[in-house]
Structure 1
Amino acid sequence: MTVTFGEEITLLSLDDQSGAVRERQACQWAVAGGIVLELVLAGRVTVDDGRITVADTAPTGVRLLDDRLGMIDAWAAGKRRPPKVTEWLTKDKGKALDAALESLAERGLVGREQRTVLGMFPVRRFPETDGTVERALRARLEDVVLRGAEPDDRSAGLVALLHGAKLHRLAFPDLPRREVAPRMREISEGQWAGASVRKAIREMEAAMTAVALVTMRS
């Protein structure tokens, strides 16, 4: 099963028992950024000098990505120049996380529960129903970050998103940030991939870093 960057970050964020999203504010930025990076690597959008442009509106076949592609295309169409990718992330962050949660539920990786808090406030939870994908994901992250394995494009992209959004604890909850951040930064800045992939990852990591600073100050 192929799981998108946005879904992977969402899986890492979910508490396995309660189904609540941890570090929601930072996570929603990272999920929105992960969807954009996925579209960049699929050749559907470009991000250059922090600005986003739709290059190809052909469907990818993944609803989570295709819905966002259509939204970005419609949103950017009325702009005089390519808009900043951080503007899109600001606009889409909450909706992107909800869409990733629904996508995981449709795939059968999480369940859906709705509870009422204090008798009046509805709260949705997404408890894990199939832990195999998350376990494989965490094993992959451990291989490249803790054991020094050579990252592939997707592993490096995920690490860069997590590092840029300061979500080290989601990936490695039992380790202090200082033990994993240097290696995650090394992977993000590495020369292991082709130039176009490196550029895409660095553009999105820069966007994540920018919005992480806003999140920390708010």
Structure 2
Amino acid sequence: MPETLAEELLLLAYDLRGKCRIGPVELDCGVGGAMLSELRLAGRLHLDGTVLAVADADPVGDPLLDGLLADVAASPRGRTPQEWVTRLRATDHQRRLLARLADHGQIAVDRHRLHRTLGVLVETRHPVRDIVGLWDAQQRVVAAVTTTAPADARTRALGALVAATGLSKPVFATSGNWRVLRDRMRAMTEDDWIAGAVRRALAAELGSVSA
């Protein structure tokens, strides 16, 4: 089973054939937001006015998350959550998370040779192998907006990122009107300032807010 929100988001983002169901910018921003959300849930980050601040500098035991926590602590100036989401796009966190999932057998790495007019290109796909982890993540998010059972903080954080990054259609489409369920999730998590930062970062990068 995936251990972090970012890993769960990656399982939701890739289909069983290994194709990503959202664009690269949405995935980059979503993974960055998921890492920030993980640290927030662990009590390590909080919002100080409009900037992201460290509430507790103790490591959480994950090398990627601990590195990010150290980066926030060492930042010479305060940055907003949106600025951190955008800044994280330039890191190799997503590649390292995918490698970790592959090492654990949760995804495969499938490289295809594509013959194009100007030469041969190699496309890398990541077919999901951890069907149980994928199913658990999807069903928790779906249940949060289709049942009366209260969702826990991790599920709400994951659902907020699903709604922010454009994953609503593939996650909700088999459970009802995906737009209605997306809007319900957004209403449930309107106080999630990291998901809000992801939406604003995407709006700045793409000129529109993800569906």
Structure 1-normalised TM-score? 0.81
Aligned to 1:93: 89
Range with greater deviation from structure 2 (117-126 or 39-48): 117-126
2:85 matches 1:84: no
Q: Is the 8 A contact 1:164 1:209 kept in 2?
A: yes
**Pair 1:114–1:73, CA change in 2 (3 A):** farther
Aligned to 2:136: 136
Q: Is the 8 A contact 1:166 1:212 kept in 2?
A: no
**Pair 1:111–1:26, CA change in 2 (3 A):** same
Distance across 2 between alignment mates of 1:20 and 1:166:
15
Spell out structure 1 runs of 4+ moving beyond 6 A.
none
Q: Is the 8 A contact 2:5 2:35 kept in 1?
A: yes
Structure 2-normalised TM-score? 0.83
| 1:68-217 paired onto structure 2 within 5 Å | 68-74=68-74, 76=75, 78-79=76-77, 82-93=78-89, 95-118=92-115, 120-174=120-174, 175-189=176-190, 202-217=192-207
**Superposed CA RMSD:** 2.3
What is the deviation of 1:121? 2.8
**Pair 1:55–1:29, CA change in 2 (3 A):** same
Any stretches of 5+ residues in structure 2 without a counterpart? none
Any stretches of 5+ residues in structure 1 without a counterpart? 190-200
Distance across 2 between alignment mates of 1:136 and 1:3:
12
3-state DSSP of counterpart to 2:66: helix
Deviations 1:69-111 (A, max 9, x none): 233334x1x22xx112222211212633323322222222111
3-state DSSP of counterpart to 2:161: helix
Q: Is the 8 A contact 1:64 1:103 kept in 2?
A: no
Range with greater deviation from structure 2 (163-172 or 102-111): 163-172
When the two structures are aligned, how many residues end up with a matched partner? Answer: 202
Q: Is the 8 A contact 1:48 1:203 kept in 2?
A: no
Q: Is the 8 A contact 1:26 1:215 kept in 2?
A: no
% identical aligned pairs: 28
Distance across 1 between alignment mates of 2:73 and 2:104:
26
3-state DSSP of counterpart to 1:172: helix
Q: Is the 8 A contact 1:110 1:128 kept in 2?
A: yes
